[in-house]
Amino acid sequence: KWKRENEKLAPQHRRPVPEPPDHPLTHEEWNHFAWESSQAALVPCEWCGRTFFPERLPVHQRGCKPPPGAQQKKSNSRPAGNRPDSSSTLHTSVNAGVRPTVVCYICGREFGSLSINIHEPQCLRKWHIQNQKLPEHLQRPEPKKPEVVFDNDGKVNHEAMAEAAWKSHLDTLVACDNCGRTFFPDRLAVHQKSCVKE
């Protein structure tokens, strides 16, 4: 089954056949060996740097958007030409006279400059509901809306605002104690069910 699944992957995501250990292992050593083998098979997303099994990476990348102005993370897992550069698309549209998108400081998603004012109060309300459902040690302080940043000409600096909103969003994420990856607090418990500590 593993070979069949591996052959379905794009050539750059195919993995070598896993090698079994060359000597008997204890139960704990076997778990550690299996965990190391699975980690070696992970492929990083060129936008956010999070790692995934190769067959799950395309699913993640459909919803992964880099913060405006971000450079692709270096990765040998996939040629950059296979995915349009969202940041260059954003700058092109700004230059073409189309309104720039605005990053929500709570969830990190992009919205039009008119719809962001509708989205943010709803997003904050949803954030409060989800935050109150979490165990006390995972509850986070309310995200703070970044101050408006102006450029030297006195105009709103959209890139700096997007960067500040993105950083505010990242502050709402919680790191897994086992692997260090970050998640929305409500998703951390789901991740930790399958995350093996070294």
All structural domains of the chain with their residue ranges = 1-17+24-98, 104-198
What confidence score (pLDDT) does residue 71 get?
A: 58
Q: What share of the chain is helix, strand, coil (3-state, %, to 5)?
A: 45, 5, 50
Longest dimension (CA), the chain: 69
Between 91 and 174, residue with greater pLDDT = 174
pLDDT at 125 over 90: yes
Q: Which of 20, 13, 50, 21 has the alpha carbon at shortest distance from 5?
A: 13
Out of 8-12, 77-81, 126-130, 177-181, pick the least confident: 77-81
Dist. CA 62–CA 43, nearest whole Å: 15
Query: What DSSP state is assigned to residue 136?
Result: G
- Looking at the chain, the whole-number percentage of residues with pLDDT higher than 70 is 81
What confidence score (pLDDT) does residue 82 get?
A: 36
- Which pLDDT tens digit goes with each residue over 69-83? 655 554 444 333 333
With cut-offs at 50, 70 and 90, classify the pLDDT of residue 121.
very high
- Which pLDDT tens digit goes with each residue over 38-49? 777 777 787 777
Dist. CA 184–CA 60, nearest whole Å: 15
Chain mean pLDDT for the chain: 75
Other Cβ atoms closer than 10 A to 101: 21
Dist. CA 198–CA 195, nearest whole Å: 10
Dist. CA 141–CA 172, nearest whole Å: 8
Average pLDDT over residues 59-71: 72
- Residue at token pair 């102006």: 150
With cut-offs at 50, 70 and 90, classify the pLDDT of residue 151.
confident
pLDDT at 85 over 50: no
